[in-house]
Amino acid sequence: MATNTNTPLSALKFDNRFVRELPADPDSDNIRRQVLSSCYSFVDSTQVSSPQLVAYSRDVAELLEISEDDCQAELFKHVFAGNELLDGMKSYAQCYGGHQFGNWAGQLGDGRAINLGEVVNQQGQHHTLQLKGSGPTPYSRSGDGFAVLRSSLREFLCSEAMFHLGVPTTRALSLITTGEQITRDMFYDGRPQKEPGAVVCRVAPSFLRFGSYEIFASRGDLDTLKQLVDYTIRTDFPHLGEPSVDVYIQWFAEIAERTMDMVVHWMRVGFVHGVLNTDNMSILGLTIDYGPYGWIDNYDPNWTPNTTDAEGRRYRFGTQPQIAQWNILQLGNALYPLIEQAEPLQKIIKDFASDYTGKWQQMRAEKLGLKQFIADTDEELNTELHEVLQLVETDMTIFYRKLADLDVHDQTFTDDELLSPLMSAYYAPDAMSKDDKTQICSWLRQYQQRARQDDLSNEIRRKNMNAINPKYVLRNYLAQLAIDDAEQGDFALVNELLELLRHPYDEQADKENFALKRPDWARQRAGCSMLSCSS
């Protein structure tokens, strides 16, 4: 692979601590195999024929101190499609394992992700650059290591959308098509098709995940496990102090808290990850590995976007907190050999549920524009809201956004007047029965009464609610429309959505069409309702 040093991008500074301080795979052959006692394998990306820039995030470019001119230069395409390395880059794939759908899957690893190195900006912040879809690695198993445009586009847009929603997440710098055709069986029906290939450059302080530690514990390789744990604490959790048993416990507690904070945000905005395996859980509490994710359109706690999970629904919207706790348990099991104290670990795992519930209740109070959660009144209020949202097909995003427009101080409304601000949230308003309307209006009057207790004006309450309840989210059908255009070489909608989703809480008068309910044509269409892991 060529190394280019005489370019504007060469001003990027790399400090590749991960490969400098942790054990490397001694075997340089890029063949599928078990990799032992090593945290990573050096590997080069696969050269592609004709990279074309689809879009880039100017926010992430600014974070990395890459100019907009550089982002549009020829070299940028070749570097972030995997054709060239800048001076200081060291490309490698990580080794990790994981529990998948509740079962130990053994070694997994970066099967189609290749890390380029760690950029250090002028503020001293480290950001790892990772190409997803840039070719096979020793961890590719039966896969080819590449990615198609549809899944890459979804990951690129969602990474940035989540960041601007205030959700902890990895970022995305660029989306580049490769000029290659990739074979995928999207529906797992034995009819594979050729699709355009693409590469996403993902960005995060670290791409370590729960499975990074599980793999060494599962093999009884405690030396490498300890080396990785100590490295993680020193680099990403330095505020905890020098590694020790007590610090390991504190670190585990912080991972649990970061994880629950992340899930609270998912529930707040209606995001369903879809594949909450332990290899998809960031050690930093970041949303990672955007695969068959989805956004709740109609409120349904049992909905999962993942076709692979359609029967068991393990990773459905409503169970994400419980699955996160289960995953924390698996990480605790992996760390136990270094701690050899079950009680503190068990307490952290047990407390996860109650600690999460407290955060979740406060979040729900804020979504309703309330100052704080008051158990005596708000537990019942939220329980009934959970039922009301499922009486008729109700768009979650629109419901909360329109609820902010309700005048809570006027007690003279008829039922029709009370419902009026919310009607655009219902997918079949004409199908609403008299009993449904009565129950919904009963809840709205309880809500009015509770909101008046906070003694806030309608204007202030509306402002508070609109700051936490987004108007714009990356609805599945919007991403699919962008995919349809992009596969025909038209990238305008990708870039329009990228800009729209930088301001998800703002009223954008000329973009109202992006805040509408899911159209009927998208109800059952692949990519809009259910998605596969085929990417």
pLDDT of residue 359: 98
CA atoms of 79 and 131, how far apart (whole Å): 10
CB 69 within 8 A of CB 133: no
pLDDT of residue 170: 98
On whether both 317 and 359 belong to a single domain, the answer is yes
pLDDT of residue 4: 43
Residue 218 in domain: no
On whether both 44 and 91 belong to a single domain, the answer is yes
pLDDT of residue 243: 98
- Domain limit, last residue, from 210, 232, 251: 210
Residue 198 in domain: yes
On whether both 301 and 331 belong to a single domain, the answer is yes
Under-50 pLDDT residues of the chain: 2-7
For residue 296, the tally of other CB atoms under 10 A from its CB is 22
Burial class (CB in 10 A: 0-12, 13-18, 19+), 103: exposed
Catalytic, out of 25, 110, 279, 395: 279
Residue 165 in domain: yes
Pairing mode, strands 171-184 and 126-132: unpaired
Percent helix / strand / coil, the chain, rounded to 5: 45, 15, 35
On whether both 462 and 483 belong to a single domain, the answer is no
On whether both 350 and 298 belong to a single domain, the answer is yes
On whether both 390 and 493 belong to a single domain, the answer is no
pLDDT of residue 244: 98
For this structure, is 378 an active site residue? no
Number of alpha carbons in the 13 Å side-chain half-sphere of residue 182: 29
CA atoms of 413 and 419, how far apart (whole Å): 9
On whether both 84 and 56 belong to a single domain, the answer is yes
Residue 134 in domain: yes
On whether both 353 and 395 belong to a single domain, the answer is no
Q: Domain count for the chain, please give it.
A: 4
On whether both 188 and 159 belong to a single domain, the answer is yes
Residue 400 in domain: yes
pLDDT of residue 534: 58
Residue 129 in domain: yes
pLDDT of residue 320: 98
CB 164 within 8 A of CB 503: yes
pTM of the model: 0.96
Q: What residue numbers bound the domain in which 302 lies?
A: 242-366
pLDDT of residue 10: 73
On whether both 200 and 316 belong to a single domain, the answer is no
- Domain limit, last residue, from 210, 233, 260: 210
Name the phi and psi angles at 110, rounded to 5: -75, 90
- 206-262: pLDDT as tens digits: 999 999 999 999 999 999 999 999 999 999 999 999 999 999 999 999 999 999 999
pLDDT of residue 528: 83
Chain mean position to CA 3: 32
On whether both 448 and 427 belong to a single domain, the answer is yes
CA atoms of 2 and 151, how far apart (whole Å): 28
- Domain limit, last residue, from 188, 210, 232: 210
Residue 219 in domain: no
On whether both 308 and 446 belong to a single domain, the answer is no
Q: What is the CA radius of gyration of the chain?
A: 24
For residues 403-428, one letter each, b for 16 or more C-beta atoms within 10 angstroms of the residue's C-beta and e for the rest, the string is: bbebebeeeebeeeebbebbeebbbe
Residue 339 in domain: yes
